[in-house]
Structure 1
Amino acid sequence: MDQERAAIDQPVLEAARVVAVEAGGAWLESEGQSGCANCREGRGCGVSVFQRLFRLPRHRLYLPTEEALSVGDHVVIALSQRAVLTASLWLYLAPLVGLLVGALVAEMLFAREGLTVLGAITGLAGALLFVRGRQQRQARSGAFFPVLHEITLRQADESPKKGVVTD
């Protein structure tokens, strides 16, 4: 049990590239693989095929940091595995529960197919609004932001310095 708990507390690491720098942080673009391991081997759900076919944009995320980063730097970011699992549960499970509860309540009250469907849609919409509000509160808390794990490659400054003679 302690090993399972320790595994959940391990951070998820991801390589990224700095694409923009702002005061107090930087915008990163993930260098991760397209899709899961099965997709890369041609046996999965096909997310990587759609990403290549439709040239879907890479994911961008904001990294709050005081570290002096430059556009083009390569970094490794860490995010709590517990945070990823918690966010996934809320994002997938809460709308499903809302849909089912809305449908069941409407069915018990009205026993008409059209109103049951409307109840399901209402339950789904309510759950999505609830999850959105919850995630906004969590974003303000900072618990779900990635942290800088390491800088793997600094972008070299290509411009010559003033007063320095180059051959």
Structure 2
Amino acid sequence: MIEEHATVVDVFVGAVLIESSRTSACGQCQSKQSCGQKAISEWASSKMARIEIDNPGHLLVKSGDNVIVGIDEGSFLKASALMYLLPLVLMIVFGGVAQSFVTSELFIIVFSFIGLLAGFLGAKLLSRQLERRSQYKPVLLRISSLMKG
């Protein structure tokens, strides 16, 4: 189970609205002083993410409580593979098919880009189906004893 600290914003019947800061592993390497990616990740990590999650254990939480939420590791890896690999694979396949029929590099590039867009669209449609399944939804695990500051 992958766990994350969050703060309860609102409480509903069987669910809670939580807020968590986006985190990044960027900035841990030796090149962090000269890396442009670090600045982007710092800007993105300052944003707060809000999401409504299930409370299957019906924990008694109130607004402002610090909680631990989690999602199954296998489900997280499958969803990540879908989001990253499907567009990449379709881009390569579309480019390969285009290359077998024509020699124009421009046409191959355009067809590869169409494959990439088809992959993003396919990933979005499949993710909508996956988010209906309970194993792909984060859940409220427990109230955190760690004070968030």
AA aligned to 2:65 is D
| Cα contact 1:35–1:46 (8 A) shared by 2 | no
Is the counterpart of residue 35 in structure 1 residue 24 in structure 2?
yes
TM-score (norm 2): 0.80
> Higher mean Cα deviation, 19-28 or 89-98?
19-28
In structure 1, distance between residues paired with 2:6 and 2:44: 22
Q: Which structure is richer in relative contact order (CA contacts within 8 A, separation 6 or more)?
A: 2
- The runs of 5 or more residues in structure 1 that have no matched partner are 1-10, 154-167
| Distance change (3 Å), C-alpha of 1:67 and 1:49 | same
Q: C-alpha displacement at 1:53, in angstroms?
A: 4.4
| Distance change (3 Å), C-alpha of 1:63 and 1:48 | farther
| Cα contact 1:17–1:31 (8 A) shared by 2 | no
In structure 1, distance between residues paired with 2:21 and 2:51: 12
Is the counterpart of residue 75 in structure 1 residue 67 in structure 2?
yes
Q: C-alpha displacement at 1:143, in angstroms?
A: 1.8
| Distance change (3 Å), C-alpha of 1:13 and 1:64 | same
Q: C-alpha displacement at 1:120, in angstroms?
A: 0.5
In structure 1, distance between residues paired with 2:43 and 2:131: 32
- The runs of 5 or more residues in structure 2 that have no matched partner are none
TM-score (norm 1): 0.72
After the TM superposition, which residues 16-165 of structure 1 pair with which residues of structure 2 at under 5 Å, given as runs?
16-31=6-21, 34-36=23-25, 39-40=27-28, 43=31, 49-53=39-43, 56-65=46-55, 66-152=58-144
